Amino acid sequence: MALALVVPALLLNPVIAETVPVAAKVTAAAKQSGSQQGNPQGKQSTKLSINKASPEQLTAIPGIGQKKAQAILDYIKANGPIKDPKQLTEVKGIGDKLAAKIAEFVSF
């Protein structure tokens, strides 16, 4: 019965249909990197460790393609680990908005 309600919602709202696979891809990439971070409520949420991620794992993050993934890896190699979302703006091609979006999916 619940499935009957979910399927039409996915068909009528493409944003919902698009969000589910993105979250699943980032979660799968985070599991591959071995990154798990707890949240304040004590629940486990899986985030990708940006400093340990492969290019393939980084491209699972919305807004990150192959070029930006490589730019992130080059930045880490040249400057050491990224410690916070603001530091992401130092990577070529990443501004404040994209850094904030990426921060939802990664740990530092």
Q: What is the pLDDT of residues 1-15, one digit of tens each?
A: 454 544 555 455 444
The answer to whether 71 touches 91, Cβ cutoff 8 Å, is yes
Strands (E), the chain: 37-38, 44-45, 48-49, 106-107
Rounded CA-CA distance 54/29 in Å is 9
- The pLDDT assigned to 24 comes to 62
The phi, psi pair for 13, rounded to 5°, reads -125, 90
SS3 content of the chain, % helix, strand, coil (to 5): 55, 5, 35
- The pLDDT assigned to 20 comes to 46
- The pLDDT assigned to 84 comes to 96
pLDDT in tens, 60-73: 999 999 999 999 99
In the chain the domains, ranked by start, together with CATH numbers, are 13-107 (1.10.150.320)
Strands (E), 22-89: 37-38, 44-45, 48-49
Average pLDDT for runs of 10 along the chain of length 108: 49 47 60 50 73 97 97 98 97 97 96
